[in-house]
């Protein structure tokens, strides 16, 4: 019986990091993936972040170039003016050393 309770304790401790990693998430509510945007209007990025697994803050990327460092976990960020064409907008969760922890969300938009 003692071995069984030790096994349960060990398995529970191994599962704890998996539960934490599952809680880390990024939601981008606007613009939506595939949106068609007006080149004459400012583009606001609306997001909601749930941090876990050593995440500290987020970096925003447009076409692979970092454009912002944000510490607010929920809100809006006005993007720099986007040229006409197709663009990829990504949010990556990073640690205190600004190293991505492997959680990101990207959307594609078209500016006309």
Q: pLDDT of 38-68, one tens digit each?
A: 999 999 999 999 988 789 999 999 999 999 9
How sure is the predictor about 109, in pLDDT bands with cuts at 50, 70 and 90? Answer: very high
Q: Which residue has the tokens 């990693």?
A: 21
Domain 24-111 has CATH 2.160.10.10: no
Q: Tell me: the pLDDT tens digits for 90-104?
A: 999 999 999 999 999
Residue among 39, 28, 24 at smallest CA distance from 89? 28
């Amino acid at each position: 019986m003692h071995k069984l309770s030790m096994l349960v304790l060990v398995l529970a401790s191994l599962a704890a990091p998996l539960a934490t990693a599952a809680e880390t998430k990024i939601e981008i509510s606007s613009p939506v993936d595939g949106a068609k945007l007006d080149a004459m209007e400012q583009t606001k990025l609306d997001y909601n972040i749930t941090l876990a697994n050593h995440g500290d803050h987020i970096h925003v990327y447009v076409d692979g170039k970092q454009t912002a460092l944000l510490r607010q976990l929920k809100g809006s960020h006005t993007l720099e003016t986007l040229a006409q064409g197709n663009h990829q907008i990504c949010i990556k969760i990073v640690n205190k050393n600004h190293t991505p922890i492997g959680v990101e969300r990207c959307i594609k938009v078209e500016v006309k």
